[in-house]
Structures are given as structure tokens and as C-alpha cells.
Amino acid sequence: MTTMTETSARFREFKMPDVGEGLTEAEILKWYVQPGDTVTDGQVVCEVETAKAAVELPIPFDGVVHELRFPEGTTVDVGQVIIAVDVVPGGGEAAEPVAPAAAEPEPAAEPEAPKGRQPVLVGYGVAESSTKRRARKGTEPPAAAAAAIQGELNGHATVAADVPAPTVATVVPESRPLAKPPVRKLAKDLGIDLATVTPTGPGGIITREDVHAAAAPVPAPASVPTAPAAVAEAVAVPVAAAPVPGARETRIPVKGVRKAIAQAMVGSAFTAPHVTEFVTVDVTRMMKLVAELKEDKDMAGVRVNPLLIIAKALLVAIKRNPEVNAAWDEANQEIVQKHYVNLGIAAATPRGLIVPNIKDAHGKTLPQLAAALGELVTTAREGKTSPAAMAGGTVTITNVGVFGVDTGTPILNPGESAILAVGAIKLQPWVHKGKVKPRQVTTLALSFDHRLVDGELGSKVLADVAAILEQPKRLITWA
């Protein structure tokens, strides 16, 4: 997909890119520039909201803003021009940028394309050439074929004019791996060098599954993309427009995160057979441990709360029952066992509920887990969570207790096997050592995919989590 075009030697257009791995549209939330402003390569010009997150878009060239094609609040399809930039300001008269719907007369000979590799939204592409994007089979030299593939991936492959022209072979450095911009972004977020990844896509293209496999501690099958999970009580309601006085109804457009939640929940609820089990547990000792850890110098600078201990307890329970950490592969009729845990944490944000995950949470110490939790929640509430941070989850925790709710029946993230809901921790009468005493009590609910998790396995996982919260010393004896 092309993200920028040249309408003349002077004006260049920037198109809405695919910033979320296959998404088809995004809403322009805010423009950071106006016509007449000077922009530089890499400068953020606007913020857009996709079905997964809010993303800032950098412009891939220098110049002066000539035109903003859409106002704030407009939903724009991927591939539509959103901004035109004068790259030769003060250069005299030049043809105006072409409007999207305008009919164009027979084009004149195009000016010579700039030499060298041109910057795009993510990474750098190949040099411009007069070759067609897709040449006939057997007619394109190997070097030109590689250039065409890389040009398509980076989103700025050129199309030849109608009049045949001599084919110029473009040399692409062999050391540059072939990958689409979202895949490059994912690799960057996960700290993976694409040069070390073994490609499995057609033509030697690196796929997102290849990146996830390279990021896993041991070779693992492709991760299934996740979408936000939801507990009815925990989902944030989209902000409605100010109601008209006397109106009995208000209609809110379904888009962005809310649209993604709806699609994911319907797909999950009618694909995976859900089973939910509940247990009520005395967590008085866990609350004492939380208070002690807050005073521990090794935990200085990180946030310590009950969710931290619950997360660690779930990780230990998964270690004791590894079969629960799996996914159902319908296409291949296989159960995919995950040898890593990407722990999802449901976070309520002004735009709705999202579920970023902590990569390789199973290998983190308690201070590292606390730091990761704090960063995850802060980033989510600021609306800066990247699509890569929400991909590849294996199990999830949703804390409905923060809303004063006792429990819920959480819906699975598509591609995940289990989700743990944590209810409010309340002081309740409890039989302790043969006497009724006030104790700190909470209710846990575990939903799991009954296709791959039997009742016995699900019960063991939930019972292990409850046992650790009741006797936190099991974090040591069972670890």
C-alpha cells in the first residue's frame, strides 16, 4: 500500500497508512500542524485512533504544509490522502496537488525521480525506478524483482508510465530483510533484529508470526492476534455527544476501540465454548504481604498492590499446570502449547477497554513484574499503547474489584485459553481457626476455553491461585 505520492516535482501527498496490521480505517483525532507550517522528516503531524489504539503519525519528508484533506473527527480509509506538503517552498509556480476525486487529463512526462532511497513511514525503501510494480513472469531481472517486492512492502513502489521505457534494475542490499511496515514496527517493539529472523512468507517475506517465534524463549507456533477482552461491568462506555434537550435517545457511532471490542467479543463468545468457575478465598495474609512489600527497599520505586501478587500467583499456577497455557488452531486442528506467558492486563481507558500484555511475564522477578505492570497501566491510560503491545497474549487478568464488583463472567480474548476475574477485597465474617472473625475476602472467577481446557485442569488452576493468595508462602514453595 502506498503511503505517499508525488503529484508534481513540488508537492507530495501522504496517505493514511496501515498502522495496525491489517486495519482498514482510522479516525483523525488531532492535527498537530496547519497549512503554512514547516514540517521535517519524522515529525508527528497528527494523531489517529485505530480499532486498537491511538497512534501518532510522522511525516516522511521535509516541506511546508499545503493542505489538510480531512478535519479532526473524520474516519479515513487506509490509502486515502490526508495531507499535501510543498517540498519546494518558494520554488515558483507549480501544479496544485491533485484532489482525490478530480479527473486527470492525459499526464505529461513525469520529472526525473530523486535518486537514492526515499524515506517512508517505517524504515527506508528502494530507489525510485521506471519499472512496473508487477512485471510479467520471467521478464524481470532478479534485482528488479527484489526491488519491486521491497517497494510494495515499504509502500512506495512506483508504477511505470503507459509508454514503454527501458527497464532499469534497482539493486537492493541483500542484508535488508523483506518485511511489511507493521512487521518492522512489531520487531522494533519486541527488540528483535529482523536480520536474525527466518522468513516463512512468500518470496522470503518475514511475517508477524516469524517475529513472534523469534521473540519466544523457545521455538513456538504463530501467536494468534488478540483483541480486547471484556467483563460487562468493567467496559468503559464511549463518551456520547451532548444530549439534545427533551431527546429521549442518543445515538453513538460504533467505531474505534468500541467497534473492535464488539467484534472480538461476539467472535469469542460464539467460537470458544466458555466455562466459568468461582472460588471465594481469605486473602488476609496476602494483604499483609502487600503492606510489607511496600516497605521493602528492593521494591522501592515500583507500585505494590494486590494485583501484583495475584499476577504472580497466576504465573505460578500456570507453571504447575502448563497445559492451560495454550491456543486452539482451528485451521490445522491442533492445540498449540505455549512455552511462554504473555500476561494480559485489562485496562479501562477513556476510549474503552484494552488488554495490553506483559511479554514473557513468566521469567520476571517480582520487582520486574511490578515495574512492567506500572508501565503497562500508565501507557494504557495515556492512550499510548501500541498495537504490538496488545498482540500475542496467552492469558489475561481483569480486575473488576476496582469498581466494587464482587465478581463477573469474563469473556476470553480470541486466541487465549483463560481469563481470571478478580473481585473486590472486602472485610467479611469468616471462620478462621474455628472462630468467626473479620477477614479480608475476595471472589475469583476463571473462564476457560472448554475445547482445550477440561474441567479438572481449569479447577486445578483456579484452586492453585486461591491457595497461593490464602498462603503467600506458596509463592516460594511452589515456584
CA-to-CA separations, 123 to 58, 117, 179, 429, in angstroms, rounded: 12, 10, 10, 61
Query: What distance in Å separates the CA atoms of residue 22 and residue 225, rounded to the nearest whole number?
Result: 11
Count the residues in the chain.
Answer: 479
Say if residues 389 and 327 touch (Cβ distance below 8 Å): no
Residues in a beta bridge with 68: 83
Residues in a beta bridge with 255: none
Query: What distance in Å separates the CA atoms of residue 278 and residue 442, rounded to the nearest whole number?
Result: 11
Could you tell me the three cell numbers for 463? 484452586
Query: What distance in Å separates the CA atoms of residue 479 and residue 473, rounded to the nearest whole number?
Result: 10
Secondary structure of residue 211 in the 3-state scheme: helix
Query: What distance in Å separates the CA atoms of residue 409 and residue 398, rounded to the nearest whole number?
Result: 10
* CA proximity to 186, closest of 44, 20, 321: 20
What is the identity of the amino acid at 313? A
Q: Cβ of 228: how many Cβ atoms within 10 Å?
A: 28
Q: What are the two backbone dihedrals, phi and then psi, of residue 87, each rounded to the nearest 5 degrees?
A: -90, -5
Query: What distance in Å separates the CA atoms of residue 385 and residue 49, rounded to the nearest whole number?
Result: 11
Q: What dihedral angle (degrees, nearest 10) is formed by the CA atoms of 450, 452, 458, 461?
A: -150
Q: Cβ of 301: how many Cβ atoms within 10 Å?
A: 10
DSSP state of 266: H
Q: Is 450 a catalytic residue?
A: yes
What is the identity of the amino acid at 437? K
Catalytic residues: 450
